[in-house]
């Protein structure tokens, strides 16, 4: 059973430290920069070792020509609203009422939370998108599955507008008036690529079932910039394979 990451809003698994980590990169001009960044996550505490030694680490660069496309996609039943935005210190996390589910390969997962990355973590044919939305699911037994939606620059996104209008202050949360359906964060077509990977944040637990949707949604450059500014910079792990 994989340990859940900080971004999944749960207590650390036994042996997993709450050692602070960041997305800071190493810099030739500052020897201290990036000391707790992605290149060193696996060294920060024994509980994060899988970030360095794991064999199925995420995110990945998806080769659309060689990887099989799942044209049907998962079965999604998102009928309960998302209600709260929360600053975790690493991302904007959106939480809601229970009851939203995703069924993939015969296993039903319950939606735990949604969060954002800028730029995208996954790449398709070597190209990363402007943003990426992760819809994180779990089973009572502790299995994890993440639905990833890429976001490209384009028209204003009404769902993102609602989220961006309720950005919380640091360490706090905000209520989404009347709630927001997770369906509004999805593309119309649900085809995508499925693979076995890991959490993209410490403790980088394996295995995690990933489903990366082929069709992106759009957001305006102003919306992308607004989230980037609130986030305080990029929050995407480098490609692992």
- What is d(CA 70, CA 75) in angstroms, rounded to the nearest whole number? 12
Residue 221 φ/ψ, nearest 5 degrees: -60, -35
- What is d(CA 51, CA 202) in angstroms, rounded to the nearest whole number? 7
- What is d(CA 41, CA 48) in angstroms, rounded to the nearest whole number? 6
Picking from 218, 8, 212, the residue whose alpha carbon sits closest to that of residue 112 is 8
User: Active site residue: 40, 90, 115, 228, which one?
Assistant: 90
Residue 24 φ/ψ, nearest 5 degrees: -65, 140
* Nearby residues of 106 by Cβ (< 8 Å), 6 or more positions away: none
- Is 90 noted as a catalytic residue in this protein? yes
Active site members: 90
């Amino acid at each position: 059973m994989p340990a859940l990451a900080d971004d999944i809003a749960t207590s650390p698994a036994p042996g997993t430290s709450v050692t602070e980590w960041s997305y800071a990169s190493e810099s030739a001009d500052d020897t201290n920069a990036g000391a707790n960044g992605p290149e060193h996550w696996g060294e920060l505490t024994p509980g994060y070792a899988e970030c360095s030694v794991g064999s199925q680490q995420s995110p990945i660069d998806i080769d659309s020509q060689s990887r099989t496309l799942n044209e049907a996609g998962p079965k999604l039943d998102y009928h309960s609203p998302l209600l709260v935005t929360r600053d975790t210190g690493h991302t904007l996390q959106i939480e809601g009422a229970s009851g939203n589910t995703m069924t993939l390969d015969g296993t039903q997962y319950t939606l735990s939370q949604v969060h954002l990355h800028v730029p995208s973590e996954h790449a398709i044919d070597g190209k990363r998108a402007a943003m990426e939305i992760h819809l994180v699911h779990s089973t009572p037994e502790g299995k994890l599955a993440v639905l990833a939606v890429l976001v490209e620059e384009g028209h204003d996104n009404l769902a993102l507008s609602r989220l961006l209008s309720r950005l919380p202050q640091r360490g706090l949360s905000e209520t989404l008036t009347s709630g927001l359906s997770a369906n509004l964060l999805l593309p119309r077509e649900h085809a995508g690529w499925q693979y076995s990977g890991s959490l993209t944040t410490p403790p980088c637990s394996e295995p995690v079932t990933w489903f990366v949707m082929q069709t992106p949604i759009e957001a305006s450059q102003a919306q992308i910039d607004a989230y980037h500014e609130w986030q305080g910079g990029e929050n995407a792990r480098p490609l692992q394979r």
